Structure 1
């Protein structure tokens, strides 16, 4: 009798696990992504060949199909863009439309105070760079000029759990020893001898210790590590990007 009960419990556990997996697959499959564009301009020559005007152009992805999950992803993506472009924390800037209006308003105020103020520009391009049943990676390229000596360009990634829409952190995705492996790859790419200090060729790693970047994403076939300008090197160095084949990283990944 006890043997039969044990078998029954085992079958129930297996069945429950399979049912959960199928439900998660349905959620992931129902989720889809569409492109959406928002463009706003301000200036006298916006519609002429001179094109001497302030512009903000947001080419973003929109999740749809699974309402709760989609809303969570879209809200996180919008908050990320607002944080990148907005010059101040303002609770009234809570949508991409309000962000665009504030960008144009800030330019007009700057132009009134400084007659030589050149037009401002902000461009955002989002795309889903990788998708599986356990992870969705969104690649975000941002280019901004809002006065000053030069503009700046950033490449960022946001990684989502497709079942919940929540952000996946580096610790959610990677085992601890991935850092050691990534350092080896970084040293090879940047030609830093194994026995030398990680900053021996001019990098700015804190406490002279290698660390993973803030931005890690996935593209088809690769894990992408992105150190943006000023993160570990001067602005002139630009973005430092390390791409590692996914097959070489699988043993360091926590999720399926």
Structure 2
């Protein structure tokens, strides 16, 4: 087993402020009380990282971690801002060492990632992990975070995926479909969701899902809980391996509010967004 190497000096920590308030293309928009600044962290560690003496593409042995995420300066209230920042940190730092201990800081995360690399006897080349959290949508009371991850840690191919999170800007709480839609919404949402899914995948209404290579129980479509609120509808994502082989890639599709208007109660936090 290789000895644990100390982290090399290939480290960058950047912090910059940016108030998000301009419209974004694709039916998304940023407005309301949310104010942010972007944090960027990058650190490489291992026996032979770029910049070390005599490092070449052939002998490189290194693990590189990149994190980009927002720091909330203001939300509906200071308590909500603090809770959202804690939530973002939990997502960005989701990792653990061999004993199951999670990192408390990006620096600890980088150290654990480099140590995991060094403990693989035949690890060669470059391990990489990049995590990014972006605000896809924000209004007076709701915000959608898009968490994406990609990289390579050995094996046949790289990994990638993304998750959406909908947050209440007044409480900092993560919201679920059960809290946004009327009771019993599942049947109608799955029906409309299947139409949007088929359109995104170029499938006709008569095409069998399993015949097209998708893995839905009993060949019946069902939305998942990986969803976000946008300006024009609810966006859903199926990651690689979730409902299809890796080679078929992910599927992102949007259910327009006009197609589910009857599922959105007037008392829902979604009601003002969906008008």
Larger Rg: 1
Given that 2:97 and 2:112 are in contact with CA atoms closer than 8 Å, whether structure 1 keeps it comes out as no
Query: d(CA) in 1 for partners of 2:237 and 2:33?
Result: 30
Given that 2:64 and 2:128 are in contact with CA atoms closer than 8 Å, whether structure 1 keeps it comes out as yes
Higher-strand-fraction structure: 2
Alignment equivalent of 2:38, drawn from 35, 40, 57:
35
> What SS does the aligned partner of 1:194 have?
coil
What is the alpha-carbon root mean square deviation over aligned residues?
A: 2.7
> Which structure would you say has the larger RCO, counting Cα contacts within 8 Å and 6 or more residues apart?
2
Alignment equivalent of 2:68, drawn from 41, 59, 64:
59
Given that 1:135 and 1:159 are in contact with CA atoms closer than 8 Å, whether structure 2 keeps it comes out as yes
Alignment equivalent of 2:126, drawn from 119, 122, 130:
119
Aligned length: 225
The answer for the alignment partner of 2:83 in structure 1 is 72
Spell out, residue by residue over 1:159-216, the C-alpha distance to the aligned partner (whole angstroms, 9 max, x if none): 1011110111122223412222111222334344435543232210123221113311
TM-score, structure 1 as length reference: 0.76
> What SS does the aligned partner of 2:193 have?
helix
Residue ranges of structure 1 left out of the alignment (5+ in a row): 1-27
Residue ranges of structure 2 left out of the alignment (5+ in a row): 1-30
The answer to whether the aligner puts 1:146 opposite 2:153 as a matched pair is yes
The answer for the alignment partner of 2:216 in structure 1 is 205
> What SS does the aligned partner of 2:154 have?
coil
The answer for the alignment partner of 2:50 in structure 1 is 46
Superposition pairs of residues 1-256 of structure 1, within 5 angstroms: 30-43=33-46, 44-47=48-51, 52=60, 53-65=62-74, 66-83=77-94, 85-86=95-96, 90-110=100-120, 113-114=121-122, 116-175=123-182, 176=185, 177-195=188-206, 197-253=208-264, 254=268, 255-256=270-271
Given that 1:79 and 1:94 are in contact with CA atoms closer than 8 Å, whether structure 2 keeps it comes out as no
> What SS does the aligned partner of 2:243 have?
coil
> What SS does the aligned partner of 2:37 have?
strand
Query: d(CA) in 2 for partners of 1:86 and 1:217?
Result: 27
